[in-house]
Structures are given as structure tokens and as C-alpha cells.
Chains A and B, each alone.
Chain A
Amino acid sequence: MTLPQRITPYLYVAPLIGLLAFVFGYSIVSMVEFSFKMVRGIDGPWIGLRNYRLVLGQPLFWESVGHNLLLLLAIPVMVAIALVISLLLYERLRGWKLVRTVIFIPYILAIPIVAVVLKQMFQFSGPVNEVLRWLSLDFMALDWIGSGDVALWTVMALIIWRESALGIILFLSRLLSLDEALTEVARLDGANWWKRAWYVLIPQMRGVIEFYVVISIITMLSAVFAYVYIMGGGRGGPGTSTMVVELYIYNALVRTSLPGIAAAVSVMLFAVSLLLIWVLFALRRRTDDAGT
């Protein structure tokens, strides 16, 4: 190959490398740097591990971490809902395509929009409680948004409502790609719906379920900002009841102007997400090996 020919591929990938090096590369390198500095404005002196010590010694940080971890409880519920619905859709009963379209709508609506709508529905004097009282379930008519004990659970319900839709679509697409012969054999052997689902279909869905669980863990730990920001009226409240790590970073960066603190938390969150990305790739490789 001549020299120009050898350079050509690099000319094609150069814009990509430039863009990713700026948005991801620069950010990740300076984030680590900032986390060891006392940044005032745009830069500051090195202070070693003081940012980390400060963050790790703060109860509010641990409360935020605890809330993110609590949200992980939503994942088994999401998996269960997605499994049941996708297996039912796989039966291809009359109108299943329409059902599929409708069920995906929660995932299309923007989080801030559904958060505003749900917030109004769950107000103490709102329609949800009105229906509960009408059903004589007064004891269940809680102050869903305004009470610190309940607010995070309400956020979790909203997350389950929206994120299950992705699981349904993922699981269904896996089901539709399966070889139907096995299911047919089971059907002829007289296996009922539960048995076919449990012994034939679900074992073949293992890969996609694992994938969905891992991306949901990433979501719960690092992508719930929009939910709590809107439900908590721009602050994540009442009080600190729906404070999460992302909001902690946002507050440190924008509200109190302490980029060093925000960077230290970001570094820790990044380390956790790296671990999860590694798990994701390991799972994928294993699925590939099993497939070939």
C-alpha cells in the first residue's frame, strides 16, 4: 500500500476520535484531576484526598447512595412485569401488535413530562387518592409526593412504570427470534403455558434478561436525575427524601460551586459504572461463545 492509502482510514475516523476525545477523554481525565484539587472557579491547588474524605464523611452523601441502592429494588419488579407481558405478547393473540405499540408509549414520553403528570395525579387531594377513597381504601390514600417517608417509593413506582416498557420490547424481540420448533414440541407433549414459559422459553432468554438487569442497574445508579428533579420540585424533596448521587453532584457543581467535590463523587460513580460496563461485556462475550 502507498502512504496516502494507509492514511485514508485514519482521516475517516479522525473526526470521531476528536469528538470522543473531547467529550469523554478530556472530561474523564480532568474529572480525576479536579477530584484532587480545591477548585475555585476554574482551577485550584492540589489537596490530595481531602475532597474524598469530605464527601465520604458526609451523611448526606451516604443518604444519597442509600437512595440509589434502594431504587435497585425496582429491578426484580421490572423484570417480572416485562417477562409476563412479553410472554403473553408472544402468544400472538388477536391485536397483539396494537398492544405492543401502546405498551411502549411510557418509554417514548419524556421523563420530565411523565414526572409532572404523575406528580399531579399523586397529589394528596389528587385523582389517585380520590379513587382510593371511593374504593373505601382510605388507609392507602397517602401523601405520595409531600411525605418524606413515601416520596422515594412514589419515584420508584414511576421508574417501574416507564422502564418496564423497555424490558418488554427487549424480551419480546428475543422471543420472536427464537426457533419455534422447541416450543412446538413442548406444546405437542402437552406442556401448558406456564410449563412452556418456565422450562422452554425463559431459559433461552437468559442473555437478554441479564443484559436488561445490568443496564437497569446503571440506570438506577446514574440516570434518575430527571425523575427526582421534577418530582421534588427542582430540589429532590421533600427535604432530602429523594436525594440521589446525581443530584448531589448537580448541587455541588451548580448550587454551591464546589467542582472539586462534584468531581470526587463523579470519579466514584464512574468507577462503579466501569465495573458494570465490564460485566456487560463479559456477559456478551459469554453469550457469543455459547452461541457459536
Chain B
Amino acid sequence: MRAGDAVKQSVLILACVMALIPTAFMLLTALKSQDDFAVNKTGLPQAFVLDHFRSVLFDSPFVLWMVNSAVLAAGAVALSTVVACLAAYAIARMQFAGRDLIFTLSTSLMAVPPVVLIVPLFVLYTRLGLISTFGGAIVIYAGLITPFSVYLLTTFFRTLPQELFDAARLDGAKDFRILRHVVLPLSLPALLTLVVVNALFVWNDLLIAVIFLQDDAKRTLMAGISVFQGRYNNQIPLTMAGMVVASAPMLILYISFQRYFIRGLMAGAVK
């Protein structure tokens, strides 16, 4: 049994190493000088060089790209959360014709690949002059993440005890007051999960970003990365410093809110 455990542990350790190698390579390379990397591709840096990080932060549009991505993520998540809270409250707590149809339709849209939606939206946005506007992109992102938000919040609201609603109603509270002062404060964990997962989706997206935000000033971090790696193709340590900066926000979020990440990503999948 002991020997068996050792084998199992080694397989798990190997899996961890495989999972971490690219991150380790990225970090170590970012700290090497250009000359150091040329002769030493896999080892530790000879000396820790921070110049590349300075170049990324001050001599390239990285910070602008990150701000753009943050604006989009915040806008889309806010819009989607408001829309989804209202709808989920009605679906979970009210009786009306078409309720189940709306919920089923909305849920099934979770599996529609974004790529099939871009052609008409691109043509429409071109006509309306909405290409390279944050507002236009926020609406698309919000639309894409909302089916998941509705699904998650509806299932959560359904688990709240009925007595809570009865008591609030006896106190004379109307639906909107109940939603704001009773339901939402109790739903903070679910809301946090939602924000984290949806922000991750918007922050990490490339497809919508390269099509709908083509203007240099509006470029997102992920679209910026593809420009960045093309421009500094031969300066690998500099490129890797860029990748470290780009992945830092999500890694930090993941490590601090791990529970919510894992729960949220599973919520879409397992009931």
C-alpha cells in the first residue's frame, strides 16, 4: 500500500510540474538579460534583470491595454449582473406564462459558440459606426456572459427558503425591495463567483476583441499581446516580461478567490 501511494504521489507531482513548466519558463526568462537567454535557455538567470518589466510598463502600451480590458470587463459584468439579477429573481420566484421556456432558451444559449454571432454584428456595427467603441463591445460581451449569469443566479435564488419571502411580504415589502434588501445580500457568494468567472471570460477573450476593437487606442490586452509578440519577436525575455505582467492580475485573483473560481467554473457544468 505504501509503495502504491508513492507511485500515486509521483504521478501527481509530475502533473504539477507539467502544469507549472510554462509559467516557470515565462517567469525565469523574463528575469534574464537578452545575452543570458541566448546561451542559457532552460536554467536559472545569471543575474536578475528587471529592465524588461520597466520597458513593458513604461515604454509600451501595455498599461493602456490593461485599462481597456478592465473597462470592458467591468462594464460587461455590471450590465450582465443587473440584467441577470432581475430576470433570475422573476424566474426563480414568480409564476408567469413562458417562464420555463425563457429559462431553457437562455440556458441553451450558453453552448452557442461566439464565432457564429460575429458576422451580422460586425456588419451592423460597421453601419452604425460602433466598431472600436467600448459601448458596442460591452453589449456583445454582456450578451455572451448573461446566459451563464441567469443560470447560476436562478439556481441559487431557488435554494433560498420561502419563509424569507413570506416574512418580507408580511412586512409590506414589494418585489424590488425584497430583491435588493433580502435576496442580494444573501447571494453574495454566488454574485462573487459570477463576477470572477465572467470577468475572466471577458479579460481572456481574443476573438471579439480583434474584430470589434481594431483601433490602436481601444485595443484590449489579449489583442495587444499578439501585436506585442510580433513586434518583439527576437527579444524573448522582453516578450515573456509582457506575458508575466499580462497574466499577473488573473493569477492573483485566482490565488485569492480560488474557491469562487472553481465553484463557478463547475457551476456551468454540473448541477
Among residues of B, the one whose C-beta sits closest to the C-beta of A225 is B207
B46 adjacent to chain A (CB < 8 Å)? no
Kindly list chain A residues whose C-beta atoms are within 8 Å of the C-beta of B167: none
A139 adjacent to chain B (CB < 8 Å)? no
Give residues of chain A (1-47) contacting chain B, Cβ–Cβ below 8 Å: 6, 8-10, 12-13, 15-17, 19-20, 22-24, 26-31, 34, 39, 41-42
B260 vs chain A, min Cβ distance (A)? 12
Inter-chain CA distance A20–B146, complex, in Å, is: 8
Kindly list chain A residues whose C-beta atoms are within 8 Å of the C-beta of B117: 23-24, 27-28, 31
Give residues of chain A (194-247) contacting chain B, Cβ–Cβ below 8 Å: 208, 211-212, 215, 218, 221-223, 225-226, 229-230, 233-234, 246
Among residues of A, the one whose C-beta sits closest to the C-beta of B225 is A112
Interface size bucket, B side?
Answer: 35 or more
Of the residues B23, B112, B146, contact of A273 by C-beta under 8 Å: B112
The answer to whether A23 and B121 have CB atoms under 8 Å apart is yes
The answer to whether A42 and B126 have CB atoms under 8 Å apart is yes
The DSSP consensus for interface residues of chain A is helix
Inter-chain CA distance A42–B91, complex, in Å, is: 38
Among residues of B, the one whose C-beta sits closest to the C-beta of A110 is B204
Kindly list chain A residues whose C-beta atoms are within 8 Å of the C-beta of B19: 102-103, 105-106, 165
Given contacts A15-B83, A230-B229, A277-B108, contact A113 B243 (CB under 8 A): yes
B188 adjacent to chain A (CB < 8 Å)? no
Kindly list chain B residues whose C-beta atoms are within 8 Å of the C-beta of A62: none
Kindly list chain A residues whose C-beta atoms are within 8 Å of the C-beta of B170: none
Give residues of chain B (187-220) contacting chain A, Cβ–Cβ below 8 Å: 200, 203-204, 206-207, 210-211
B134 adjacent to chain A (CB < 8 Å)? no
Of the residues B116, B142, B200, B247, contact of A113 by C-beta under 8 Å: B247
Among residues of B, the one whose C-beta sits closest to the C-beta of A284 is B271
Kindly list chain A residues whose C-beta atoms are within 8 Å of the C-beta of B254: 104-105, 108
A56 adjacent to chain B (CB < 8 Å)? no
B47 adjacent to chain A (CB < 8 Å)? no
Inter-chain CA distance A104–B253, complex, in Å, is: 13
The answer to whether B270 and A170 have CB atoms under 8 Å apart is yes
The answer to whether A42 and B123 have CB atoms under 8 Å apart is yes
The answer to whether A277 and B42 have CB atoms under 8 Å apart is no
Interface residues of B (CB under 8 A from A): 4-5, 8-9, 11-13, 15-16, 18-20, 22-23, 25-26, 29, 41-42, 79, 82-84, 86-87, 89-91, 94-96, 99, 102, 105-106, 108-109, 111-124, 126-127, 139-140, 142-144, 146-147, 150, 175, 200, 203-204, 206-207, 210-211, 222, 225-226, 229-230, 236, 239-240, 243, 246-247, 250-251, 254-255, 258, 261-262, 265-266, 269-271
Interface residues of A (CB under 8 A from B): 6, 8-10, 12-13, 15-17, 19-20, 22-24, 26-31, 34, 39, 41-42, 84-85, 88-89, 91, 93-94, 96, 99, 101-114, 116-121, 126-127, 130-131, 161, 165-166, 169-170, 173-174, 193, 208, 211-212, 215, 218, 221-223, 225-226, 229-230, 233-234, 246, 249-250, 253-254, 259, 262-263, 266-267, 269-270, 273, 276-277, 280-281, 284
